[in-house]
Amino acid sequence: MENYLRYKEYRKPTWAPPSWVFAPVWTILYLLIGISFGYVFFLYLNKTLPFIVLLPFLLNLLFNFSYTPIQFRLRNFSLALIDIVLVDITLVWALLSVHTHVPWVVYINLPYLAWVLFATVLQISVTVLNSKRR
């Protein structure tokens, strides 16, 4: 609820989705992420995948979960922008590294990729629009 209230305070572009959209979108995405990333972890633990394939998935989760505290608790738009770019990079790296081993993991994460790319453009806009507020 606190994130919802803070998001409403930010200057946003006219095309920004309303705050209520984020919860259902992330609920679906986290379900897909949990299934696919969980399977990658399972394969690694069963020594079917090397650590180098698992690494970008771990980093992606780290950066993904870091975004909310950076954006809404610290209110650091620039650091949140760096973080979301790292989410983009690690997700692309993860999908490229796993595609020859488990292609369905790539396909199931395409909505996640599309959303974070959209969120990156939104974060750029929010960062620019709110840079004069500080």
pLDDT of 41-80, one tens digit each?
999 999 999 999 999 999 999 999 999 999 989 989 999 9
Rounded mean pLDDT of the chain? 94
pTM for the model stands at 0.91
pLDDT surpassing 70 at residue 134: no
Domain that holds residue 93: 47-134
Instruction: Estimate the crossing angle of helix 22-45 against helix 51-68, to 10 degrees.
Output: 150
- Quick check: is 17 in a domain? no
- Quick check: is 24 in a domain? no
- Quick check: is 26 in a domain? no
Residue 77 backbone phi and psi in degrees, to 5: -65, -40
pLDDT surpassing 70 at residue 1: no
Confidence of residue 24 (pLDDT cuts 50, 70, 90): very high
pLDDT surpassing 60 at residue 133: no
Structure token pair of residue 56: 């970008």
Give the number of domains in the chain. 1
- Quick check: is 81 in a domain? yes
Of residues 2 and 12, the one with the higher pLDDT is 12
- Quick check: is 76 in a domain? yes
Integer-rounded Cα radius of gyration of the chain = 16
- In one-letter notation, the amino acid at residue 3 is N
Return the pLDDT at 132: 73
CB 9 within 8 A of CB 91: no
- Quick check: is 59 in a domain? yes
| Range of 5-9, 18-22, 94-98, 127-131 with top mean pLDDT | 94-98
